[in-house]
Structure 1
Amino acid sequence: MSEPRMLLFDTASVYFRAFFGLPSSLRSPDGRQVNAVRGLLDYLARFITDYSPTQVAYCWDNSWRPAWRVALVPSYKAQRVAYGDVEVVPAELTAQVPLIRDVLDALGIPVIGADGYEADDVIATMAKASSVPTEVVTGDRDLFQVVDDAAAVRVLYLGRGAGRHDRVDGAWLRERYGVSPDQYVDFAVLRGDPSDGLPGVAGIGEKTAAGLLASHHDLEQILAAAQQGLLAPRVTAALAASVDYLGAAREVVSAAVDVPVPAFKLELSRSPADPARFERLSAELGLGGSAARLIAALAQARST
C-alpha cells in the first residue's frame, strides 16, 4: 500500500496555464477548442505519476473576487473585471470550463468550493486540516504561504510548466526570496502584486521587503521599528503613506483557513467513476492522448 498523501489543484490557475500554454488548434471533432481540457488532464496524469497521491481534489473559486476582500482593498482584482462581478476571460476558455467540470465528474474527482471564498481559501483550509503529506498544484505565488515543512505541506509551482515545476518548501522560499513561509504574506503585501490589484508600498520591492523581514521578522515589528526611527527615512515615509493599505492588504492576501469546506470522498480511484461517460466525453471532445495518459496513470497508481 502507498503512503497516504493528498494532491490539491488550484483549478483556475491550472486551466488558465493549460489554455495559454497549449495550441488553440487542439479541437474536438466538431471544432470546439479543447486545449484547456486536454492540458488539465495532462497535468493530472503527470502529477499522479510523479507524486502517487492517494487523495485528489480540484479546488474551485466559488467567488473569484470575494466581496469581503474588495471591501478591504477596492482595487483587488479590479483590473480583471469585465463588468459587474464578471472576470475578463477569453470566450474560448469560458466555453471549456463546463467541459472540465463534466470530465472531472466522470472521473469521480471532486471539485470543492465554498460560497464567498476563492480556491486559495479552500486549499489553505484543507491543507491545514490535512493529517497526511499534501502537495498543492498552482501557478499562484500567493499559495506559498501554505508551505509548512513540519506538516509536510509543499507547493508544486507551475511557473515553468508541469515538466519543470518547482517543488516549493521552506528552503526553496528562503533561497529564492529570503523569507520563510510564515513571512510570505507580509512579503507579498509589502512588494505588492499588480496582477491582483495590490499596489504594495511605493519604493519597496522584493529585496527591500526581504531585508526588512530578515531584520524585523514581521509587519508589526517593521512598523514598530519605523515609529522608533530605526529605519531609513525613505522607508519610514513610504510605510507611513501606506499604513491604511498595509493592514487591509494583509487580510486580503492571507488565505482563510476556516472555510466551511463540504465533505467529499477524496480517495483516488484506479479507474474513472463512470467509465462509459468518460469514454463518451473523450470521443466527443477528441481528448485522445490526454485521456489515454490519464487512464494509464490511474491504472498504475497504487491503491490505498
Structure 2
Amino acid sequence: MAPSQLLVVDTSYLFFRAFHGVPGTLRSPSGAPINAIRGTLDTIARLLEDRRPSHLACAWDQEWRPAWRVDLLASYKTHRVAADGHSEEIPEELLAQIPVIRRALTALGLPVLGAPAAEADDVIGTLAALFAPTGPVTVASGDRDFTQLVDDATGVGLLTPVGRTPGWREIHEAQVREAYGVAPAAYVELASLRGDSSDGIPGVPGIGDKTAARLLERYGDLAGVRRAAADGVVERGGLTARQAEAIRAAADYLDVAPRVIRIRRDLPLGITAEDLTLPRTVADPAAWSQLVETYGLGSSAGRLLQTLGLPTPEGAR
C-alpha cells in the first residue's frame, strides 16, 4: 500500500530536545534518568495525533559523522567529538537513555531506519525521494538543513518546533523564502557561503545569511558568485572588493562544502511502503512491557499506545 502520508521523524533531534526540555527529575523506579525517553515517546505521540499519517519512519544516525564527509571537510562536527576521538560528546545521562529509546520504538513496532556511512539526514532525504511520488512526506525536525528538501511540487514539507512549546509549525517554500531569501533548492549554496557553526561548517568570512542570499540572487548560483569573484567584479548591489577576495581565498573550501551539506537521497535502504505502515499490534509485547515497568514509562507509553489504537499488553499497565 502506497503511503497517503508519510511522517519521518529525526529521532536524534527528538531525544536531544527532550533531554534538554523535559525535567531531569523524571526518574525510573531504580533512579535512572528517563526524561529523554518519555519526552521522545510523548513527542511522537503528539505528532501522530496532530498529523494522522498513514506511515511513519524513525530515522537514526548509523554514523553521526561519516568519514566521507570528514575527508571532504576536516572541521565537520569537530567541536562535538568526544575525548575518545571518534564518538559524539553526549551528556552521560542522555547517553544511557538512547539505547532504551531505540529498544522501545522497536518493541512497539515503529520502524527505526539507519544506513552504513550515513546520518539520519541522509536516511530522511532518501525516504523523501522514494515516497514523495506516492503521497505527501513530512519531516519533523528542528535542524535547518532539512530546508533543502522542502518542495511544494512533490509534497515534501518540514515540521519545526515552535520555541519551547509542544507545538509544531509547517514549513513550505514560501516560509523558506521568507526566512532565508532563497528557494529551498538554493539552501545548500547559501549554507556553504554563510556557514553553519553547529556542524563545523566555517563559511566564507564576512558573509552571512542576508549577504549570501543577495549574492545568489544577483549572480544566479554559487558558481556565478565564484565567477564574479574570480573576475574581480565589484559593483553596487553585488560583490564588494573584500567579499570578492574572501570568496577567492575560500576556493578550496567552496569546492567541497556543498557536497558536505547536501543531504543524500540515494541510499540503498531496501524498504517498501509496507515496512513503514503504522503497527497494528505491539511487535514485542514482552519487551515493551518490561521496558514500561523497568523505566516507569507510565502515561507516556499509554498515550502512544492509545494514539496508535493498540491495546496495552499484559504487564505494561
Query: Could you tell me which residue of structure 1 aligns to residue 86 of structure 2?
Result: 85
d(CA) in 1 for partners of 2:71, 2:165: 35
TM-score (norm 1): 0.94
Question: Alpha-carbon deviation of 1:271?
Answer: 4.5
Question: Alpha-carbon deviation of 1:247?
Answer: 1.7
**Unmatched runs of 5 consecutive residues or more in structure 2:** 311-317
> Any conservation in 2 of the 1:271–1:295 contact (CA below 8 Å)?
no
Is 2:297 the partner of 1:287? yes
Provide the secondary structure at the position in 2 that maps to 1:9: strand
Query: Could you tell me which residue of structure 1 aligns to residue 314 of structure 2?
Result: none
Is 2:246 the partner of 1:233? no
Query: Could you tell me which residue of structure 1 aligns to residue 258 of structure 2?
Result: 250
Question: Alpha-carbon deviation of 1:3?
Answer: 7.4
Query: Could you tell me which residue of structure 2 aligns to residue 24 of structure 1?
Result: 24
Q: How does 1:192-231 map to 2 (within 5 A)?
A: 192-228=195-231, 229-230=233-234, 231=239
Provide the secondary structure at the position in 2 that maps to 1:202: coil
> Any conservation in 2 of the 1:170–1:180 contact (CA below 8 Å)?
yes
Provide the secondary structure at the position in 2 that maps to 1:57: strand
d(CA) in 2 for partners of 1:236, 1:35: 49
Is 2:307 the partner of 1:297? yes
Question: Alpha-carbon deviation of 1:279?
Answer: 3.0
**Higher RCO, 1 vs 2 (CA within 8 Å, ≥6 residues apart):** 1
Which deviations, in whole Å up to 9, do the C-alpha atoms of 1:13-51 show, x marking residues without a partner? Answer: 111111111111111111110111101111111110111
> Any conservation in 1 of the 2:230–2:248 contact (CA below 8 Å)?
no
Query: Could you tell me which residue of structure 1 aligns to residue 166 of structure 2?
Result: 163
Query: Could you tell me which residue of structure 2 aligns to residue 55 of structure 1?
Result: 55
> Any conservation in 2 of the 1:183–1:217 contact (CA below 8 Å)?
no
Question: Alpha-carbon deviation of 1:270?
Answer: 4.6
Distance 1:46 1:270, change over 3 A: farther
d(CA) in 1 for partners of 2:78, 2:51: 36
**Matched letter for residue 222 of structure 2:** L
Question: Alpha-carbon deviation of 1:211?
Answer: 0.9
> Any conservation in 1 of the 2:3–2:55 contact (CA below 8 Å)?
no
Is 2:108 the partner of 1:107? yes
Provide the secondary structure at the position in 2 that maps to 1:7: strand
d(CA) in 1 for partners of 2:119, 2:63: 5
d(CA) in 1 for partners of 2:102, 2:262: 28
Q: Which moved more, 1:199-208 or 1:215-224?
A: 215-224
Provide the secondary structure at the position in 1 that maps to 2:309: helix
> Any conservation in 2 of the 1:60–1:111 contact (CA below 8 Å)?
yes
Question: Alpha-carbon deviation of 1:232?
Answer: 1.8
> Any conservation in 2 of the 1:37–1:96 contact (CA below 8 Å)?
yes
Query: Could you tell me which residue of structure 1 aligns to residue 72 of structure 2?
Result: 72
> Any conservation in 2 of the 1:7–1:57 contact (CA below 8 Å)?
yes
- Percent identity, aligned pairs only, is 47
**Matched letter for residue 182 of structure 2:** V
Query: Could you tell me which residue of structure 1 aligns to residue 43 of structure 2?
Result: 43
**Matched letter for residue 292 of structure 1:** G
Which deviations, in whole Å up to 9, do the C-alpha atoms of 1:98-138 show, x marking residues without a partner? Answer: 10111001110111111111110111011011121011111
TM-score (norm 2): 0.90
The number of residue pairs the alignment matches comes to: 300
Q: How does 1:244-283 map to 2 (within 5 A)?
A: 244-263=252-271, 265-283=275-293
d(CA) in 2 for partners of 1:3, 1:111: 17
**Unmatched runs of 5 consecutive residues or more in structure 1:** none
Query: Could you tell me which residue of structure 1 aligns to residue 125 of structure 2?
Result: 124
d(CA) in 1 for partners of 2:121, 2:106: 21
Which deviations, in whole Å up to 9, do the C-alpha atoms of 1:185-225 show, x marking residues without a partner? Answer: 11111111111111111000111011112222321111122
d(CA) in 1 for partners of 2:268, 2:85: 26
Question: Alpha-carbon deviation of 1:161?
Answer: 4.4
Distance 1:31 1:292, change over 3 A: same
d(CA) in 2 for partners of 1:4, 1:11: 22
Query: Could you tell me which residue of structure 1 aligns to residue 5 of structure 2?
Result: 5
Provide the secondary structure at the position in 2 that maps to 1:160: coil
Cα root mean square deviation, aligned: 1.8
